[in-house]
Amino acid sequence: MTSDTTLTQSGLPPSGQGQVLLIACGALAREILAIKASNGWDHLDLQCLPAIFHARPERIVPAVREAVAKHQENYDRIFVVYADCGTGGELATACRDLGVEMIAGPHCYAFFEGNAAFNELDEVTSFYLTDFLVRQFDAFVWEPLGLNKHPQLRDMYFGNYEKLVYQAQIKDDNLVEKARNCAERLGLAFEYRFTGYGDLTEALRNA
Domains of the chain: 5-103 (3.40.50), 109-194 (no CATH)
Q: pLDDT tens digits, residue range 10-58?
A: 344 444 458 999 999 999 999 999 999 999 999 999 999 999 998 899 9
Q: Is 33 buried (19+), middle (13-18) or exposed (0-12) by CB count in 10 A?
A: middle
Cα 14 to Cα 9: distance, rounded to the nearest angstrom? 11
- pTM for the structure as a whole: 0.87
pLDDT in tens, 118-151: 999 989 999 999 999 999 999 999 999 999 999 9
